[in-house]
Amino acid sequence: MKSCRWAAGILTVALVASVSLMDRSAAVHAAGGESLADELIQARKHQIMLRIGEFAKKKREVLRNRTIKQANTWTAGSEATGMTEVVYSGSTPSYRIPEYVFRLSQPSTVHVTAEHSTTLMDYLIAGVDANGNLVYYQDGDTLPAGEYSFIVISESKTPLNYQYRLSGLRLAAAPDQTLPALTFETPDQYEQRLPQGTRSLTLKGSTDADFAEYSLNGSESQSLERDFSVSVPLHAGFNSLKVNAFEFSGNAVYDDFTLIVPTLQRIGGADRYEVSANISKELGIDSSTVVIARGDLYADALSGVPLASMNQAPILLTKTGFLPPSIKEEILRRNPDRAIILGGTGAVSATVETELKQMGVNQVERIAGATRYAVSAAIAEQMKSTAGDFMSDVAFIASGENFPDALAASSVAGQAYMPILLVKPGSIPPDIENFIKSHPEIGKFVIVGGTGAVSDAVANKIASYGRTVERIGGSTRYQTAVNIANKFQLIPNTQVFARGDDFPDALSGGPFAAHLQAPILLTPPASLESNVKGYLTQNSPDVAYILGSEGAVSRTVEEQISQYIR
């Protein structure tokens, strides 16, 4: 049994992955590449857990307005039906999440048997504990009386058959073993590249669900009729279309479409704070959390990228003493319930905390430390307590005295829940050393940057703890960023570009690039560097984003990148 820290309300909920998981076959890379398959699978499970509760209010509202069926009228501790097992079977690709709801009258030790041949299927059993926290269970765990969701997770883009038998249960009611039908005429592919200039798409299909809805790019959801045909507006770049359908029994399916309109897009602004707010707008995830970091120093924001990704949250930059107007406006637009401040009051003042609360943010947390290294270690600890076993067993080591290497690694860190631990060039600060020693489950450390950024003495020290150490470097920061993209074989369809010799506009880019599963490539302000040109020649993107105004990344660079867009 494992727990997550988010309260859930009722459990009959939506389960939608925020990103599409690549096929396992696509994640097995060429020689010299590093597979992120296992890390991405674990991260995806955590994202599914995060989404538990997102649909709860809508389900409660729908159920409140009807007479609850007998299958839903039960109380924990009521007489069992005599049924002790249930079989769930069907077929699903990675882009569809099936959810089956069952209810126990008494505590039960669950046994889960996979009766299918494929190894590309997995499952989660999710419930809510006495404190309202989400808990997930596995084969052999004892489930208290209550309501549970059985979630099927596919790792294949093509539909695969599954059949799971759950036994040892004391069921309060006969579970519904069917899912709502949900079919589409358009879009006809879950990942679809559309012609340049496309501005809308017809969402057309049918369902027999009791309730269905769709949302685009994190916008407010809209209900769907049983036979639906609606025009949805698209913007240039990456579009995320989600369709949810559920039965009054609680069973549901959740579909996730990625619609790509090829483009080169600049996310600019009058200053670093406006750029940060505009990146948050483009991120498009409807998250209840925001991460707040100081905008005139880079360390806390870069360490915070994987934590933000865990929470599907943007990183919003602030001045030390107050929230800039553009950031205030974006917080009001997002209307979050929770804010995580990175750094002590010397980095982000108590006044900012007060402002957040006055804006209606109910839960304001702070991850502080005496130094940037202490904050980095504290963020990693928060990641561990947040994600538990979902966190990667690999961590990045990067210089705390310069930003490019950590920035280039931040997309990978965000995608795979890999902490970014900052060190001094020649030594490991005590807070980082204590974190490494106290977490033996993190067995591999990847140093980003050459020996001038992080010395061999640091590598040897980590190795002396019995850990595996690897280095990804390059002759320049630009080559290091390319080498990271190649090493982890990041999907090149979408690419994010940031200025490599100054940090402000790029600080909020890590969670954005992670959400897109895109590499972050660095560029000088005036012209693309040769290693980056070589990467683009081999990996022409459908979509490219430039972070910052023309003062940060020139129009010349923009024109150079545009030549590589497919």
The half-sphere exposure of 247 on its side-chain side, counting CA atoms within 13 A, is 21
Give the model's pLDDT for residue 82.
84
pLDDT in tens, the chain (566 residues): 554 433 333 233 332 333 332 332 233 233 345 656 677 777 777 676 666 566 666 666 777 666 544 444 444 444 567 899 999 999 999 999 999 999 999 999 999 999 999 999 999 998 888 877 778 899 999 999 999 999 999 999 999 999 999 999 999 999 999 999 999 999 999 999 999 999 999 999 999 999 999 999 888 889 999 999 999 999 999 899 999 999 999 999 999 999 999 999 999 999 999 999 999 999 877 789 999 999 999 999 999 999 999 999 999 999 999 999 999 999 999 999 999 999 999 999 999 999 999 999 999 999 999 999 999 999 999 999 887 777 889 999 999 999 999 999 999 999 999 999 999 999 999 999 999 999 999 999 999 999 999 999 999 999 999 999 999 999 999 999 999 999 998 889 999 999 999 888 888 999 999 999 999 999 999 999 999 999 999 999 999 999 999 999 999 999 999 999 98
Query: For residue 400, which of 443, 371, 433, 363 has the smallest C-alpha distance?
Result: 371
Other Cβ atoms less than 10 A from the Cβ of 184: the count is 17
Give the model's pLDDT for residue 55.
64
CATH number at residue 167: 2.60.120.380
- On whether both 432 and 388 belong to a single domain, the answer is yes
Query: For residue 81, which of 143, 178, 170 has the smallest C-alpha distance?
Result: 170
Are residues 136 and 2 in contact, defined by beta-carbon separation less than 8 angstroms?
yes
* Strand blocks (E) in 209-347: 211-216, 222-223, 227-233, 237-246, 252-261, 263-267, 289-294, 315-318, 338-342
Give the model's pLDDT for residue 182.
98
- On whether both 318 and 399 belong to a single domain, the answer is yes
- Given 144, 177, 210, which residue is the final one in a domain? 177
Phi-psi region of 64 (alpha: psi -120 to 50; beta: other; left: phi over 0): alpha
Give the model's pLDDT for residue 62.
75
- On whether both 221 and 332 belong to a single domain, the answer is no
Give the model's pLDDT for residue 558.
98
Quickly list H helices, 417-497: 430-438, 456-463, 477-487
Distance CA 539, CA 547 (A): 20
Q: Give φ, ψ of 341 to 5 degrees.
A: -90, 130
- On whether both 414 and 274 belong to a single domain, the answer is yes
Quickly list H helices, 52-133: 56-64
Q: Which domain holds residue 278?
A: 264-480
Give the model's pLDDT for residue 36.
66
Give the model's pLDDT for residue 175.
96
Instruction: Please report whether residue 116 resides in a domain.
Output: yes
* Strand blocks (E) in 42-128: 86-92, 96-104, 108-109, 111-114, 121-128
- On whether both 125 and 168 belong to a single domain, the answer is yes
User: How would you class 115 by CB atoms within 10 Å of its CB: exposed for 0-12, middle for 13-18, buried for 19 or more?
Assistant: exposed
Instruction: Please report whether residue 91 resides in a domain.
Output: yes
Give the model's pLDDT for residue 188.
94
- On whether both 322 and 235 belong to a single domain, the answer is no
Give the model's pLDDT for residue 66.
64
Give the model's pLDDT for residue 229.
98
Are residues 79 and 105 in contact, defined by beta-carbon separation less than 8 angstroms?
yes
- On whether both 268 and 246 belong to a single domain, the answer is no
Split into its structural domains, the chain has a count of 3
What is the value of pTM for the model shown?
0.84
Instruction: Please report whether residue 391 resides in a domain.
Output: yes
Are residues 312 and 327 in contact, defined by beta-carbon separation less than 8 angstroms?
no
Instruction: Please report whether residue 496 resides in a domain.
Output: no
CA dist list (Å): 368 to 278, 327, 526: 26, 21, 37
Are residues 505 and 459 in contact, defined by beta-carbon separation less than 8 angstroms?
no
- On whether both 188 and 172 belong to a single domain, the answer is no
Instruction: Please report whether residue 397 resides in a domain.
Output: yes
Instruction: Please report whether residue 94 resides in a domain.
Output: yes
Q: Which residue has the tokens 């699903």?
A: 92
Query: For residue 432, which of 378, 471, 470 has the smallest C-alpha distance?
Result: 378
- On whether both 277 and 329 belong to a single domain, the answer is yes
Give the model's pLDDT for residue 11.
32
Q: At what angle do helices 37-51 and 404-416 cross, to 10 degrees?
A: 70
Cis peptide before 195 (omega within 30 of 0): no
Instruction: Please report whether residue 7 resides in a domain.
Output: no
- Given 177, 200, 233, which residue is the final one in a domain? 177
Three-state SS at 96: strand
User: How would you class 406 by CB atoms within 10 Å of its CB: exposed for 0-12, middle for 13-18, buried for 19 or more?
Assistant: buried
- On whether both 220 and 236 belong to a single domain, the answer is yes
Instruction: Please report whether residue 137 resides in a domain.
Output: yes
- Amino acid occupying residue 331: I
Structure tokens at 311: 């929470």
- On whether both 257 and 351 belong to a single domain, the answer is no
- On whether both 191 and 156 belong to a single domain, the answer is no
